[in-house]
Structure 1
Amino acid sequence: MNFSNCERPTDLPNCNNVYGLVVMDGPLAELGNRLSSFRDGMEISHKKSQFDGAESFRMGNVDCEFTCSLYRGNEYLLNGGVAGDNDYVSLFAKHLQEQLTQWGYASTFDVLDTHRKRIAWFGKPLD
């Protein structure tokens, strides 16, 4: 299945089905700006907490919706929902992980089915 040529589903799941961890040393906004080119129509919304100054961003388009926020140190959670069947969701996560690797970010992604069971894992173990 060629990810860039497959038809996009449009019904987002009710809960997250992709859970990612991204390691980066640069500013969070840089990652968000790069991800804006990941898929056509991807929109990025940056946010800075007025309470503690923590930065985060949301990204989404017709077939996905993700949030990225600090986990600890230089590790960020990139979790969200992807519309489609298990094959499509897995292919989306694989493509996302590969793109992050090309940009120089270490990352891992777990893909869960509707019963919350792991159906795929992409990336290398992170130290």
Structure 2
Amino acid sequence: MTLTLAATGFSILITIVILFQAALAAGMPWGEYAMGGKFPGRLPAPMRVACLIQIVILALLALIVLSKADILLPGWRELADVAVWFVVAFSVVASVLNLITKSVRERRIWAPVSILMLISSLIVALGG
């Protein structure tokens, strides 16, 4: 039950991040809430493409966690047993970057989200 709850929580949080990245890619003027706040307002085209690439990566991370928790893609389980540690490492880096960003708005919103993603991915990694 704890494993399923942690994987579900991770998936909900990463879905929020994916939706935010999709909004940035579509041109929403929320640049101060991403990428260190370096691009306030609408992101330039290359950064919007980067958002699309991040969406793919984030979706793969979610699938790895869900597979490790035996919720989706049982055929990925062997890969997920190892790859989940990449998810944990990714979450550590995301947490550190969101804690040290110069953008106060980004830090206030995304640091708690990334820390919760770290905790939930670690629970999944250790629980299965």
| TM-score, with structure 1 as normaliser | 0.31
| TM-score, with structure 2 as normaliser | 0.31
Higher percent of residues as helix: 2
